[in-house]
Amino acid sequence: MNDSASAEKAVLGAMLLIEEQVRAGVELIPPEAFYNTVHRAIFTEMVALYDEGEAIDIVTVAQAMESHEGLTRCGGGAYLCELVESYGHASVADYAKLLNQAYVRREVVRICALIDRQAKGDADTGDLVAQVEHMAAELARTASDRGVRVRRRGRLVNPVSVENELEGLYEAGRGPIGVSPGWPEVAEYWRLVKGSLSIITGIPSHGKSEFVDAVCVNTAMKENWKWAIYSPENWPWEMFCQKIIEKKTGSSLLGMDRMSQEQMGDALRWMGEHFVLIEPDEDNTTLGAVMRLMQEAVDRHHVDGVVIDPWNTIRVVLQGAESRTNYIERSLDETRYFARKNNVVLLLVVHPQKLYPDVKTGKYRVPRLYDCADSAHFFNKADNGLTYYREDVTKHYGELHVQKVKYKAHGKPGLVGMVYDVQSGRFECCDPMTQGMSW
């Protein structure tokens, strides 16, 4: 199935001709998307040159591949010139979509052929069905990674078919569903339920990231949860590790009353058992690149939750004539699907658009999810939506506004007062009515 040959040539021609198209090709297309083995080798060499910071053009690629037999048989440098001539006017992103779709189709053919051979063999029928289910799940994951949206087939569902799931929900209904974020007062309004997407917003420097970090530490300590963290604003990582181990020990790493070196070592080892840090290539911070590492964290470390903090550091790559709003809608669908497919909690921190203080009081209002930059989809797509807000940034009192909870079994909208301790990085709940005190 090599009907993508013209698209392969056009992609390579664009990358040889236009510097800006190289980065898009590296970010959007995996080498295996190329059906033609020579094209795949050319692309792989381009990626190697890109990673080394070298220029990519006909001369450099030809020199790098002068000993490659396949390219020599095709005509060497003359074939590279032919690739340049095959480039039209579409962007690499447009061609990437075609290549990735063709790759997924080839995977369908390969898997179907494998199933056909095994079905004609003497494999146990039950084992065969289980293997088919596994391969189908892997195929769906591959399609998702390649930007191919998998649509569920329509079907008629008999309510009795979910009897076991409903009984499980009934049994869980004897107590709160989900895991407490670490404070009983907050758990009344918002609990962590696997398979859900929670979006947290707030004015920059008001404390939303500190709150999310505290949730991760609390659940790691009390529930033995593991977390995968993508938080480029907390780089270098030693600064992030400082915040986490301070919350774990309740002591500062700095100052006269700081924790002991032994405490620091113990806390760091504990952190190593409960946290994995996501660090994509600095030149490739697209959602796809980050989600591939998120998937690796799920597969290898069996994490219970994933944090993206903040969303605004994800590099936007629009597909064709896609608008930024449509990009956000598609991306949130992908993140929500990731949470449900892998049965993990996904916490997404999003900065709001620029807000302006009240002309009379000089204070900012509480941001809403609808205020998140670029799209109302941050409210529409979230299972849960929260805002951490400080009316007076000179004080350590803040408010957690739970603005959306999709399912009543998981919580309800409400307000919780919280006080932040600078030394330990920990939060304590308090009565919102006492906010006038000098916290």
Q: How confident is the model at residue 437 (pLDDT cuts 50, 70, 90)?
A: very low
Question: What's the pLDDT at 153?
Answer: 64
Question: What's the pLDDT at 86?
Answer: 81
Question: What's the pLDDT at 392?
Answer: 86
The three-state DSSP-derived secondary structure of 128-181 is: HHHHHHHHHHHHHHHHHHCCCCCCCCCCCCCHHHHHHHHHHHHHHCCCCCCECC
* Model confidence at 414: pLDDT above 80: yes
Question: What's the pLDDT at 193?
Answer: 94
* Model confidence at 16: pLDDT above 50: yes
Strands 414-420 and 397-405, bridge-based pairing: antiparallel
Q: How confident is the model at residue 152 (pLDDT cuts 50, 70, 90)?
A: low
* Model confidence at 174: pLDDT above 70: no
Question: What's the pLDDT at 191?
Answer: 95
Q: How confident is the model at residue 298 (pLDDT cuts 50, 70, 90)?
A: very high
* Model confidence at 436: pLDDT above 60: no
Instruction: Name all domains of the chain by residue range, CATH numbers in brackets.
Output: 1-149 (1.10.860.10), 176-434 (3.40.50.300)
Question: What's the pLDDT at 299?
Answer: 87
Pair 385, 379: CB distance under 8 Å? yes
pLDDT per position as a tens digit, 198-228: 999 999 889 999 999 999 999 999 999 999 9
Among 243, 255, 167, 256, CA closest to 209? 243
The dihedral region occupied by 99, where left means phi > 0, alpha psi between -120 and 50, and beta the remainder, is: alpha
Q: Please state the φ and ψ torsions of residue 409, each to the nearest 5 degrees.
A: -70, -15
pLDDT per position as a tens digit, 21-49: 888 888 888 888 899 888 998 999 888 88
pLDDT per position as a tens digit, 306-362: 999 999 899 988 877 888 888 899 899 999 999 998 999 999 999 998 888 888 888
pLDDT per position as a tens digit, 250-266: 999 988 888 999 999 99
* Model confidence at 400: pLDDT above 90: yes
* Model confidence at 372: pLDDT above 90: no
Question: What's the pLDDT at 439?
Answer: 38
Question: What's the pLDDT at 6?
Answer: 86
Question: What's the pLDDT at 37?
Answer: 87
Q: Indicate the average pLDDT of the chain.
A: 87
* Percent of the chain at pLDDT exceeding 70: 95
Question: What's the pLDDT at 151?
Answer: 65
Question: What's the pLDDT at 175?
Answer: 60
pLDDT per position as a tens digit, 90-149: 778 888 888 988 989 998 999 999 889 888 888 888 888 888 887 887 888 788 777 777
Q: How confident is the model at residue 1 (pLDDT cuts 50, 70, 90)?
A: very low
The three-state DSSP-derived secondary structure of the chain is: CCCCHHHHHHHHHHHHHCHHHHHHHHHHCCHHHCCCHHHHHHHHHHHHHHHCCCCCCHHHHHHHCCCCHHHHHHCCHHHHHHHHHHCCCCCHHHHHHHHHHHHHHHHHHHHHHHHHHHHCCCCCHHHHHHHHHHHHHHHHHHHHHCCCCCCCCCCCCCHHHHHHHHHHHHHHCCCCCCECCCCHHHHCCECECCCCEEEEECCCCCCHHHHHHHHHHHHHHHHCCCEEEECHHHCCHHHHHHHHHHHHHCCCCCCCCCCCHHHHHHHHHHHHHHEEECCCCCCCCEHHHHHHHHHHHHHHHCCCEEEECCHHHCECCCCCCCCHHHHHHHHHHHHHHHHHHHCCEEEEEECECCCCCCCCCCCCCCCCHHHECCCCHHHHCCCEEEEEECCCCCCCEEEEEEEEECCHHHECCEEEEEEECCCCCCEEEECHHHCCCCC
pLDDT, average across residues 155-169 = 77
